[in-house]
Chains A and B, each alone.
Chain A
């Protein structure tokens, strides 16, 4: 699904050179739920941004479904993001001026051939999946943190992406709400077969996924199956 080969990301200013990622080699197969852990500043979010085609590596190769995307232009990258990827951010990044329904419909605005009626139907289905179909006309400011994150998940879902990239989706939530969000993501992975890559600081959450990759100082230090995976295998 997503393959990263020899990825390096260096941020350069006039005086300082910061290596965010170094020699990263990863393959995320279809249908896997992977969590990425590590201390702050270790390059987890940078990794997710590169996987999500929101950022370019300084060197190395990114492949989506076996196709290298290094020569793709803005329009082609936008198309892949729209068709294949969905994003969930720690701080939700909902558009406060739009209603819940309008926020969820957003990805389909950029998809050709999606009729208004069809878009609305898909948005309702996505909101039902996250248990928020009664809040369609509310605005983000009227919702709790957990509800906002569920709207963000519905927005990520509506385009039926193959991969959801979640950057600390429970980071701003208390443990109960975090648990709810995690259950929704697990359900998506197990029932719909959606590939999920989740950055997290929470060991408990990470151990609910089937694979855990640890980063330290921009380098991948471990990549292992979790007990949850072993349990699933049994």
Chain B
């Protein structure tokens, strides 16, 4: 039966080439945009180098102080806050302190080079899973001794040394000379927690360590022993924050700081309120946008499908006469529509691959390496099926209601 349906579906596609072109263009273009968006989302929030174990990672990006008169201030945490409150947490397997990235300038042969530098501890390298092309991360001794050593990315190596090895060589960044101990693959800028061009020991900024106050220029990265420990870490963190709040000299001050997954931290930055991460709302907005984006091409496809199916009323009449039930007819048209959508999906995949190549090659997103992996493929396939169902069900239902005699009368000879 399926073979019969697919034969018909293929013939119908070939019958009206312009309609087919419009349908396939609509489907493939829509899916291409959605696939690129999915790939971008996966690239930003999915388990990718160097944040592969996303189910075990939490990030503390900021602390917000709300003083009694309603005045709010927020920003990344201070080293002092990390050292006194986050480092002593019991539940995590490892915690790391690392700075925001700062743009600094370097000069190579009188050529100015803007680089992003990040200050990290040794634990940063244990928690995150960078791909090392040369050498290794700096050691605990390097951090303790505030040694001027650096891990650089592939792009920085190329800028300084061309194709030559970099480990053991020296670079001058922001007028400070560092010895290169490791080279890693480029990390896309979307991975704000780990991205930089140059990573150096956090102790090189030790002058900031004793600055009191909650806010500073640091992030904390927390790794749980198992994914099941995530809620426990959050609970321990919340208890710690209550204690910090209680100790505030100015009474009535409220403090907000949370260890979030990367996606939660993103949602909280834009949609969070007090304890709520805003993740549910983020998913709702994304689903709503996807639905709205698919709605127009779906309506278009519904109309095209109705007019296409109308041409086939004779066939519907014949099928009913020979024993097809209304639900069989619905099934047939849905299968045909899903076939069309999958075909559009296939074209969409090819277009997406082209679009992703363009994005990667253009450098619009620094060090982006967007690809169509299995997750993106699975989501794309799901979108195709939803699209196929949405645009196929109504026309199929409408036509299945057609009276057999009327269908036969309306048919071509």
Contact = CB atoms under 8 A, between A and B. Distances in A.
Contacts of B405: 49, 54-55
B403 to A, nearest CB: 8
B246 interface: no
B359 to A, nearest CB: 41
B413 A106 contact: no
A144 B327 CA distance: 34
A97 B323 contact: no
A54 B322 CA distance: 10
Interface string A95-130: 111100010011101110000000000000000000
Contacts of B319: 106, 110
A94 B319 CA distance: 10
A93 interface: yes
Interface string B1-38: 10010011001100100000000000000000000000
A73 B77 CA distance: 71
Given A54-B405, A74-B326, A98-B4, A106 B320 contact: no
Contacts of B324: 78, 109-110
Contacts of A110: 319, 322-325, 328
Nearest to B8: A97
Contacts of A49: 404-405
Contacts of A94: 318
If over half of B's interface residues share one DSSP class (helix, strand or loop), that class is named, otherwise mixed; here it is helix
A94 B322 CA distance: 12
Nearest to A155: B322
A79 B322 CA distance: 9
Contact of B322 (A55, A74, A75, A82): A82
Interface residues of A, number: 32
Nearest to B408: A93
B46 interface: no
A207 interface: no
Given A74-B325, A87-B322, A95-B8, 17 more contacts: A55-B403, A78-B324, A81-B320, A82-B323, A91-B413, A92-B413, A93-B318, A93-B411, A96-B412, A97-B7, A97-B11, A97-B12, A98-B7, A107-B323, A110-B328, A111-B323, A172-B413
Interface of A: 49, 52, 54-55, 74-75, 78-79, 81-83, 86-87, 89, 91-98, 102, 105-107, 109-111, 155, 159, 172
23 contacts: A49-B404, A54-B320, A54-B405, A55-B404, A75-B325, A78-B323, A81-B322, A81-B323, A82-B322, A82-B323, A93-B318, A94-B318, A97-B7, A97-B8, A97-B12, A98-B8, A98-B11, A105-B4, A107-B322, A107-B323, A110-B323, A110-B328, A172-B413
